[in-house]
């Protein structure tokens, strides 16, 4: 959908970060008792990877070991900047994997220094949580859950407490989080890079990092107890867009076997794809942005661009008043990593046929518990968005006061999000003719208070905001400082059990859990997670569903 009045829009496209100032510098049961209350010791036996031996450290929960900062590819500095990830270094002896690895260069202005890891172009590293320190027998290998962080080019690193994997590991998964290149380092397209790479396109370096991480996992994860034939690729927002791309790309085919897209997918004709993280730029537009970037940076060649200090690039790209041309970086329809449009993948039946779990949140897509809107702005929005059908829209979502206008816009935005997700599911099942199930969710629970341990979390009052479900998917409430209640712990236990089951079998259902039906193309509905665990319709009434379905299917642009 189009951006709403008063700047209230859908999830912002991965580009320049609003609010970053000039001079940004590089800097089944309730969860067990946190590890801080129950001392335990690290793994005593080193684990052998193809690069060398590693030992881990105690994780946040007893019985779980975490291996931190293991390199899965070489440094991206110098000649490796804006190149496909290179093989990881090897080492002699035993590497102590007890310290988080560096994050990739990005702006950190406004984030407390104690929340910022070291920043370096030598940042392609990963973390593993496992309930066993050495490989069990092959028949006992556990499902692998690989998580891709989200964000808006800032606070994008895998070591944040909100991504702690100890609870899912205690529930039987081997959890992996990893760092990948972001911003200009992760998405720069340029004609010279397209020529150099030999594939006719460029950009999507962060997605290529993801492929390298998956290849490392394929080769090494059994040593940590993980099953390389049961890998779930999961992410939220920007990370979800990577999952979406790799369900189309051939580069990671066979390297993962289920997909979890949190704040998730949109119907491929949804106008929102023009400006959310899941969208993409055409190669020519991305290359034009890259040419403008080089001019802005004062560089006339790739060697000069690669010689620039990383902190100079970050500072200039995110400087207040930086030009839009040359500083906007997102996914690219490059013909290689992303070989075709989302629609073409569906119609050509090349979308990866694997189980999918995807959904969205009550207070995103422009909806907000603090939204204010005048009747005049609401009616203008209706006319601009729906044209000759504006009167039909206003009859379905009527408003005569400003308070009603805000409430009805919220109702509409929430309906439209669920309808868009459902229509994507029908494309996956019908247009692409896939047999694998789709499990769609709608997150409704508001995390209590505010979390000061995670710089990506919004201030109190944001409602069931974009990404609020992350705590509950991981079930890692123990690592944050919100005033969690018994209800939160129960919600987290149920939700993380769904996730663990999906990772294990491709089906979130399990003993003692409320039933979660797979998407049926003849029945437009979703599964509410959070305040309740039960199905709900894709829109508040059949008439609203029919209207929104017709609006989305009638769009002329296919992404």
3-state secondary structure of 416: helix
Nearest to 107 by CA among 320, 324, 302, 287: 320
Residue that is written with structure tokens 């049926």 in the block: 520
Residue 159 annotated among the catalytic residues of the structure: no
* Per annotation, catalytic residue among 194, 237, 328, 496: 237
Distances (CA, A) of 203 to 13, 165, 391, 449, 518: 16, 30, 43, 39, 35
Q: What is the residue-wise DSSP string for 266-319?
A: --TT-GGGGTSTT--EEHHHHHHHHHHHHHHHT-SSHHHHHHS-HHHHHHHHTS
| Helix H or strand E segment including 526 | strand 525-529
Strand partners, 526: 536
Distances (CA, A) of 163 to 149, 179, 480: 8, 12, 11
Residue that is written with structure tokens 């979406």 in the block: 244
Please state, in angstroms and rounded to a whole number, the distance separating the CA atoms of residues 140 and 532: 34
| Helix H or strand E segment including 168 | helix 166-170
Contact 12, 277 (CB under 8 A): yes
Q: What is the residue-wise DSSP string for 63-109?
A: T-EEEEEEESS---SGGGTTSPPPPPP--SSEEE--SPPPBPS---T
Alpha-helix runs per DSSP H in 402-479: 402-426, 470-474
Q: Label residue 175 left, alpha or beta by phi (over 0 means left) and psi (-120 to 50 means alpha).
A: beta
Catalogue the active-site residues: 237
């Amino acid at each position: 959908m189009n951006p709403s009045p008063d700047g209230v829009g859908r999830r912002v496209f991965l580009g320049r970060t609003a609010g970053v100032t000039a001079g940004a510098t590089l800097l089944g049961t309730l969860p067990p008792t946190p590890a801080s209350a129950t001392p335990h010791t690290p793994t005593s036996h080193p684990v052998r990877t193809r690069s060398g031996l590693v030992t881990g450290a105690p994780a946040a929960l007893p019985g779980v070991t975490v291996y931190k900062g293991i390199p899965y590819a070489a440094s991206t500095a110098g000649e490796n900047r804006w190149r496909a990830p290179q093989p990881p270094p090897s080492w002699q002896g035993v590497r102590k994997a007890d310290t988080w690895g560096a994050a990739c260069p990005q702006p950190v202005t406004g984030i407390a220094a104690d929340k910022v890891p070291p920043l370096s172009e030598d940042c392609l590293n990963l973390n593993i949580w496992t309930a066993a320190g050495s490989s069990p027998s092959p028949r006992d290998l556990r499902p692998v859950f690989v998580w891709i962080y989200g964000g808006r080019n800032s606070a994008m690193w895998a070591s944040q407490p909100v991504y702690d994997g100890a609870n899912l590991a205690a529930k039987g998964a081997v959890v992996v989080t990893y760092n990948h290149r972001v911003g200009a380092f992760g998405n720069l397209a340029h004609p010279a890079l397209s020529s150099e790479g030999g594939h006719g396109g460029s950009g999507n370096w962060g997605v290529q990092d993801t492929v390298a991480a998956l290849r490392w996992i394929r080769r090494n994860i059994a040593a940590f107890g993980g099953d390389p034939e049961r890998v779930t690729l999961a992410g939220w927002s920007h990370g979800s867009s990577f999952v979406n791309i790799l369900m189309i790309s051939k580069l990671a085919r066979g390297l993962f076997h289920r997909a979890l897209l949190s704040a998730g997918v949109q119907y491929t004709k949804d106008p929102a794809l023009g400006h959310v993280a899941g969208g993409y730029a055409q190669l020519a537009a991305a290359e034009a942005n890259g040419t403008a970037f080089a001019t802005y940076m004062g560089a006339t060649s790739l060697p000069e661009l690669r010689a620039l200090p990383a902190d100079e690039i970050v500072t200039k790209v995110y400087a207040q008043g930086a030009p839009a041309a040359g500083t906007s970086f997102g996914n690219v329809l490059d013909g290689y990593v992303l070989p075709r449009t989302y629609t073409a993948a569906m119609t050509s039946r090349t979308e990866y046929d694997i189980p999918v779990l995807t959904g969205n949140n009550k207070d995103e897509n422009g909806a907000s518990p603090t939204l204010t809107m005048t009747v005049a702005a609401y009616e203008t929005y209706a006319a601009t968005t729906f044209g000759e059908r504006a009167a039909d829209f206003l009859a379905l979502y009527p408003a005569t006061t400003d308070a009603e206008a805000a409430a009805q816009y919220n109702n509409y935005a929430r309906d439209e999000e669920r309808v868009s997700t459902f229509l994507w599911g029908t494309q996956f099942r019908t247009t692409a003719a896939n047999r694998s199930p789709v499990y769609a969710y709608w997150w409704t629970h508001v995390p209590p208070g505010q979390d000061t341990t995670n710089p990506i979390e919004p201030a109190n009052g944001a409602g069931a905001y974009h990404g609020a479900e992350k705590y509950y998917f991981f079930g890692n409430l123990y690592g944050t400082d919100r005033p969690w209640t018994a209800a939160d712990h129960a919600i987290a236990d149920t939700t993380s059990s769904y996730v663990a089951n999906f990772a294990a079998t491709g089906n979130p259902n399990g003993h003692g859990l409320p039933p979660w039906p797979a998407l049926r193309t003849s029945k437009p509905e979703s599964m509410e997670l959070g305040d309740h665990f039960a199905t709900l319709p894709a829109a508040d009434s059949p008439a609203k569903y029919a209207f929104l379905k017709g609006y989305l299917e009638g769009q002329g642009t296919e992404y």
